[in-house]
Structure 1
């Protein structure tokens, strides 16, 4: 379900997938969490959602989306993302899972399951398929993925980047990873500190 090894598709780049899990990568589809910018939204069109799902390995190919399914897709997926963000940002800061966004995700996932849009594969809850072209199926599938991640990801390894606030799963041996990407935020922070040191009297 989440490890198809899919090739990243435009407009997405490898740098957009640093979270270590699709749910965390979904929360990172806003440019900068700590310093919001006016045009920081990365999910603007239904095509952005579809190519993101393919790039994240949730679908093997980008499905053709009927107009009825495309209508309202972006705001619904953005709502799932913000609910996921509220949950995993709280976890990253050592707080309890907030009940309101978690309950909303449970309800959306439940509607998709009851409607037959999302179906389990085999005996494990993290393997499921979805009718990706049906109205509401993508938000339901993403909601189910978030709910599953709440129970399966190690809470003590969820981190927020010290610079941009993006979330990631710290799989380093010592558990001391600080940046979403050492080549991006890590280097930018080093450069900032270097500039500060040079301007000090």
Structure 2
């Protein structure tokens, strides 16, 4: 995975829950050759915490978030991976996997012990993940058909397929238009 510096924009918080935005910090997760871990650079975790406080869907729920210290980073990254693994599999397979659920619960418990302050990013992320276990929240979880990010579908008819219409929806529509135009010319 490569890493680079970039800005945390509102689109980066399209998941609809802090836990999902943390999980989505790995870009192109399904393609190891192109995958980018935005948290590989420690300063990006600090920048993420600051941006999540300003831009995240749960910004009113948590006080100003504090990034984990260097020694706490492994616990925080394990929490991120457990969140992604459990919810992605739950959406894809349509049910619980006891091993994945146990890993998620263990990671949340570890985070709550390692990050005891409510304003810590690890603590807030664990609380956010646990709240997503409720049946009504889980029924609305989706995987973006364009970028593969996890998001909550809050549309009235539960038919949203993109994490962000302005970015992923437009990219997908532009791609379809390009291919239709190219086929018509051949």
Give the aligned length. 171
**How many angstroms does 1:50 deviate by?**
2.7
Normalised to the residue count of structure 1, the TM-score between the two structures is 0.71
Shift of 1:25: 0.9
Q: How far does residue 147 in structure 1 lie from its aligned partner after superposition?
A: 2.5
C-alpha displacement of 1:184: 1.2
- TM-aligned CA deviation for residue 195 of structure 1: 1.3
Tell me how far 1:77 sits from its aligned partner.
Answer: 2.3
Q: Deviations over 1:154-198 (max 9, x none)?
A: 222111111111111111111111111111111111111111111
Q: Determine whether 1:98 maps to 2:102.
A: no
What corresponds to 1:77 in structure 2? 76
Q: Contact 1:33 / 1:164 at 8 angstroms: preserved in 2?
A: no
Q: Equivalents in 2 of 1:186, 1:113: separation in Å? A: 36
Moved >6 Å (runs of 4+)? none
3-state secondary structure, aligned to 2:156: coil
Q: Distance in 2 between matches of 1:15 and 1:166?
A: 11
With the length of structure 2 as denominator, give the TM-score of the two structures.
0.76
What is the CA RMSD across the aligned residues, in angstroms? Answer: 2.7
* Alignment-derived partner of residue 172 in structure 2: 189
| Paired residues for 1:83-122 under 5 Å | 83-111=82-110, 113=112, 117-118=115-116
Match of 1:176 in 2: 159
Once structures 1 and 2 are overlaid, which stretch shifts more, 102-111 or 23-32? 102-111
| Distance of 1:98 and 1:194 partners within structure 2 | 39
Unaligned runs of 5+ in 2: 1-5, 54-61
Structure 2 CA distance for aligned equivalents of residues 37 and 29 of structure 1? 16
Q: Which runs of 5+ in 1 are unaligned?
A: 1-9, 120-128, 133-137
Q: Is the 8 A contact 2:86 2:104 kept in 1?
A: no
How far apart, in 2, do the equivalents of 1:176 and 1:97 lie? 22
